[in-house]
Amino acid sequence: MEAQYDVAKNCLFSKTRTVSRYITNLYTDGLKEVGLTPVQYSMLTAIQVLEEANINGLASALKMDRTTINRNLKPLVRDGLVFINESIDRRERLISITKEGIELYQKGYASWQKAQSDFKDILGEEKRDEMTKLLDEVIAVIGKK
Amino acid sequence: MEAQYDVAKNCLFSKTRTVSRYITNLYTDGLKEVGLTPVQYSMLTAIQVLEEANINGLASALKMDRTTINRNLKPLVRDGLVFINESIDRRERLISITKEGIELYQKGYASWQKAQSDFKDILGEEKRDEMTKLLDEVIAVIGKK
DNA sequence: GCTTACAATGTGTATATACACATAAAAAGG
DNA sequence: CCTTTTTATGTGTATATACACATTGTAAGC
């Protein structure tokens, strides 16, 4: 088979990326009413669960590059949803959610639930569960690396 | 369950996005030796398969936003991999791959194959096939929207 | 033919992503 | 203590993404 048809049919990167873009847009639409992106929402999630994590800790928990965490924190700090404290170890900075952040997060929870529910309606509960299971397995495997 | 633990455990957006980031990095590493990103590689794929598509046609085939296509074409044109022709319909522009583009694409094919193969080794053939099937199903469902 | 509708594209802006490189502070080794 | 190494972070640069808004050209209705 010629290369371009092989890639067009079988590329796991582009398939995954296409699905990722679509789901991102779905959640973006839902969370728009509270003015948060889905990435910001997932970061606020980790910030609350971890409590006073540093940037490397957040990067590890979210499986994102630490420089991406650094950059993505800026709008959250700017909008008063997150604050950053000094640490005894003066190299690191400790990230926490603010009162306003918690309030907005709670407000966004309904939007997030609706996006989850919409996706279930679109895909069907069975396929949705299959997908969740598979994604967890993939994340577990890549987490070992 | 409190919101943040619900989101941390069950969010299909963040699971998909995490896997997408990981796979992107895997293919990025492989294609780095030819100086292409995986997104560029998949765009060059569609440009060859479609032959003289316009921007909307590429956007539709790749399921990407047309403004993203527009922006992503620029480095490809700059690097001489793609050229853009006028059309009889003077609103549209027809996108084609250049000789250099084809050569680089062929060179990148081995890297792409290796990334595909590496992912198979990491995940296992069975799970890889399961994932391919599921992604195709999801893309088919969202394509109807 | 003229006006109106629609279609194709471009641009401003904002977030998301990650590599390469640099800096500063703590820890380790002697 | 002083040097070396490691750790935590910041920044420059480049690509990727998509919405809102604007422009231009074609098609449709009359």
pLDDT tens, residue by residue, A102-135 = 999 999 999 999 999 999 999 999 999 999 999 9
User: Is the pLDDT at A87 greater than 80, yes or no?
Assistant: yes
- Closest CA relative to residue A145, chosen from B118, B109, B133: B118
Across chain B, mean pLDDT equals 96
Enumerate residues 6+ apart whose C-beta is below 8 A from A114: A30
Answer for the pair A136, B16: CB distance below 8 angstroms, yes or no.
no
Report the DSSP beta bridge partners of residue B125.
none
Q: Which residues pair with A85 in a beta bridge?
A: A94
Q: Do residues B30 and B111 make contact, with C-beta atoms less than 8 angstroms apart? A: yes
Q: What is the mean pLDDT of residues A34-48?
A: 98
The Cα–Cα gap between B23 and B17 comes to 10
Per-residue pLDDT averaged across A83-99, rounded?
Answer: 97
The pLDDT confidence band at residue A99, using thresholds 50, 70 and 90, is very high
Beta-bridged to residue A82, according to DSSP, are: A97
Q: Which residue is nearest to nucleotide C18 (CA to C1')?
A: A65
Q: A102 CA to C5 C1', in Å?
A: 47
User: CA of A136 to nearest chain B CA: how many angstroms apart?
Assistant: 7
Query: Which of A7, A39, A73, A4 has its CA nearest to residue B7?
Result: A39
Mean pLDDT of B120-136: 96
> Which of B113, B69, B109 has its CA nearest to residue B93?
B69
Q: Are A82 and A101 within 8 A, CB to CB?
A: yes
Q: Say if CB B116 and CB A11 are below 8 A apart.
A: yes
- The pLDDT value given to residue A143: 79
Chain B: residue whose CA lies nearest to A5: B49
- Closest partner residue to A15 (CB to CB) among B17, B109, B132 is B132
pLDDT at B103 over 60: yes
Residues of A in contact with B5 (CB under 8 A): 49
Percent of residues, chain B, with pLDDT higher than 70: 99
- Phi–psi pair at A131, nearest 5 degrees: -65, -45
Outline where DSSP puts E strands in chain A: 82-86, 93-97
Residue A82: closest CA among A94, A92, A91, A90 = A94
Confidence band for B20, pLDDT divided at 50, 70 and 90 = very high
Residue B145 above 70 pLDDT? Answer: no
Q: What CATH number labels B3-143? A: 1.10.10.10
Strand C contact at CB of residue A65, distance < 7 A: yes
Nucleotide closest to B67 measured between CA and C1': D18
Average pLDDT over every residue of B115-124 = 96
| pLDDT the model gives residue B99 | 97
Would you call B11 helix, strand, or coil by DSSP? coil
3-class DSSP state of B73: helix
Pairing state between β B82-86 and B93-97: antiparallel
Number of H helices, E strands in chain B: 7, 2
Size (chain B), residues: 145
